[in-house]
Chain A
Amino acid sequence: MAEIGRFFAGQNLLMQLLFLGIVLASGWVVLRPFKKLHPYTGQVLVLVGILWIGILFYFVTFSFRVPRFTSVATTGATVPRFWFYVLLPIILLAFIPMWKGHEVPDQKSGNVWRVGVVFGILLLSLVSFRFIGYYISSALFLVAVMWVLESRSKIELIAIPLGWMIFSYFFFARLLYVRLPVGALFAGLLG
């Protein structure tokens, strides 16, 4: 247990995401032959993902160093393990109505493609934070997202980001003294 715990504890977040991806892909493959579970694919995968997080946390608790003072009845591992023991039977219970076909099937989620694009723009905007700062990246974010959300008015596409940049500067930087990043590029240019 301790060996497995130490292995997982030693992996960074990117690797943890990779493990989660592998678990979900495996779950999807295992699910394929069970046709009666197909309407619940999303719910099953989310349950598998949560279960994996629980298992991961459980194993990692074995890598925690135990304090020397032995009179203490609990350690840092006690409560995470306790929550895992609570989680395990509830997740298993959640599968029963799906197996019996009593659960509400997965619902359609609207325009998922658009959500993905906006999410991608958000990620790009956060990456650009370090370079061009909040004010410019927020203006670019506004233009891009408004375009994706089908706003085609040229006046809106120019005035809103510009107005936001000015407003956010005075509201956050001048009024509230919130030091939003100006970006490495401008910090360098301004010396």
Chain B
Amino acid sequence: MLGAEIIFQGPVLLLLLLGTFLGLIFGAIPGLTATLALILLLPVTFGMEPAVGMAVLGALYIGGVSGGKIPAILLNMPGTPSSIATTFDGYPLCQQGYPGKALTYAIASSFTGGLISLMALIILAPFLSIVTLRFQSYEYFLLGVFGLTVVSSTTGKSVIYGLISATLGLMIATIGGDPLSGVTRFSFGFRALRGGVELLVAMIGLFVMTEVFAQTADVDKKYSFFSAKLDSMKLEVKVLLGQAKNAIRSSLIGLGLGMLPGAGGTIASFIAYDQAKKASKHPEKFGTGVIDGIVAAETSNNAVSGGAYIPTITLGIPGNTVTAVILAGLITHGISPGPSLFRNEVQLVYAIFIGLFVSNIFMFILQHTVMIRFFKWALRIPKTILLPLIVLMSIAGTYNIRYSVNDLWVMVVFTGLGYLLLNTGFPLTPMILGLILGPIMERSLRTAMMASGGNVMPFLTRPFSLGLVLLTVVSLALTVLFKRLEQKGKLIPPVPLSGTEESEV
């Protein structure tokens, strides 16, 4: 098979194992991310063959994305943005005394999602990219609107609070240089804001630090999982088979969205979670620690990793920050990404895909053995020690992004903001998604307006755009309808979706 002879060599397999392991550690430690792992280790791959180097970066990516689920489930702190939806059911299940069960099904879901997306990629890659080529700025803007609407309706106590949080995120995303005219906006003389709010800084402040402070307030509470023991980690075949439909649907969502530049694992996991909830016979149980929620979130976000390679390799447009680093890696290794890559570098492309496939298997084995034992030990660390240690890791992680002390102050501001929002019932997830999607949506909206000469009609007349508008309206209408029915007592009110966001309700 093309590319297999490059990957299936002892030293290369060892490098992939090491890459996956390091990725898992970076993904699992709040404050350290897959992006950071890739940036730090990119220079190490310079001495390798391009195909091997790119496969190692892929291994770091697979490990980094998968590792995020561990703190998401055990600490309610997503290691990566794509693990946010995993907290919704993973953390409540952990709090109920089943951290092992939550982790086992999350690991199996990650493996399944990665596997399905990679199999689809290997077979369909050249054909799938044609669809995304038809998306223009109108569709990218509306995709952002759709993603934010879905997130706002699936997190927090009300759709309105979710939308406010999302819009606040979008507004904060406009801080810094205007991408088209170069005007500096809303920096108010603060140097760290001239280039805009660094996404990772905001994320560490809003998620990691806010969670630490929320737990600091309740450090006396007895339900702390730190004293808990890991329960059984056996996979039940019956449960697995019952989740097959959910896993396939979520994988396809992840694969499809992974191909769209800018969409990525975060939106995919939310949409998959939302779809699983809508398809479930018991939607009211979502957010209480159901396996369906964990499977949907983890299958979809891992399916994205395969899909995200499509625009990166075929169009030269990275799907997210991590694939942007991978794109940089490709260029550094002297490979020109673009439509001609599939024609000229077939062996390299398939070596990368096989490398991802192998890394996915390593990820499954490592998480089930070494990583779980590592975290089994970590479970015994008292909160009084772990919480300040997480703060210190977050400080080091934030400082490392741009070697800037000013970024630490920005992180502190986001911590304060996050804590206030959290304690007044505003979900934080839509806000961070607004921050992620804000620049893409702004660029898309303005490009679209320029292309149409200020005419908004193409948003409604282009088939893909119209489809996205209808999807957004239907999704919002259904959510409002369900909330009304809940209020009238015709539906059982759902238990809060996320421990982080509404643990006190």
Give chain A's interface residues, CB within 8 Å of chain B: 9, 11-13, 16, 42-43, 45-47, 49-50, 53-54, 57, 60-61, 64-65, 67, 72-76, 78-80, 82-84, 86-87, 90-91, 93-94, 97, 102-104, 106-112, 114-115, 118-119, 122-123, 125-126, 129-130, 134, 138, 141-142, 145-146, 149-151, 156, 160, 164, 168, 172, 176-181
Contacts and interface: CB of A to CB of B under 8 A. Distances in A.
A131 B419 CA distance: 28
Sort A-B residue pairs by CB-CB distance and give the 8 closest, nearest first: A110-B217, A76-B178, A145-B388, A149-B384, A76-B183, A151-B384, A73-B454, A110-B218
Contacts of A164: 389, 392
A106 B412 CA distance: 24
Contacts of A146: 384-385, 388
Contact of A73 (B157, B190, B423, B450): B450
23 contacts: A9-B188, A43-B424, A57-B186, A60-B186, A64-B183, A65-B183, A76-B180, A87-B167, A107-B423, A110-B214, A110-B504, A111-B220, A115-B213, A122-B412, A125-B395, A134-B396, A138-B392, A146-B384, A146-B385, A146-B388, A156-B385, A164-B389, A178-B400
A53 B171 contact: yes
Interface of B: 40, 157-158, 160-161, 163-164, 167-168, 170-171, 174, 178, 180-181, 183, 185-186, 188-190, 213-214, 216-220, 382-385, 387-389, 391-392, 395-396, 399-400, 403, 405, 408-409, 412, 415-416, 419-421, 423-426, 441-442, 445-446, 449-450, 452-454, 487, 504-505
For the residues of A in contact with B, the DSSP-based class is helix
A107 B425 contact: yes
A75 B442 CA distance: 11
Contacts of A60: 185-186
A177 B43 CA distance: 12
Given A46-B421, A73-B450, A122-B391, A104 B157 contact: yes
Given A11-B188, A176-B40, 18 more contacts: A9-B188, A12-B189, A64-B178, A82-B445, A83-B170, A87-B167, A87-B168, A94-B158, A106-B424, A110-B217, A115-B213, A141-B391, A141-B392, A142-B389, A149-B219, A168-B392, A178-B396, A181-B405
Contacts, number: 190
A176 B44 CA distance: 12
B190 A83 contact: no
Given A57-B186, A87-B164, A104-B425, A115 B217 contact: yes
Given A42-B423, A110-B217, A141-B392, A74 B170 contact: no
A54 B186 CA distance: 11
Contacts of A43: 424-425
A73 B395 CA distance: 42
Nearest to A8: B188
Nearest to B453: A73
Nearest to B452: A73
A57 to B, nearest CB: 6
Contacts of B412: 122-123, 126
Contacts of A46: 420-421, 424, 426
Contacts of A129: 405, 408
Nearest to A112: B217
Contacts of B186: 57, 60, 80
Nearest to A16: B188
Contacts of A180: 396, 399-400
A11 B189 CA distance: 8
A12 B405 contact: no
Given A79-B174, A107-B504, A109-B423, A74 B180 contact: yes
A42 B420 CA distance: 8
Contacts of A111: 216-220
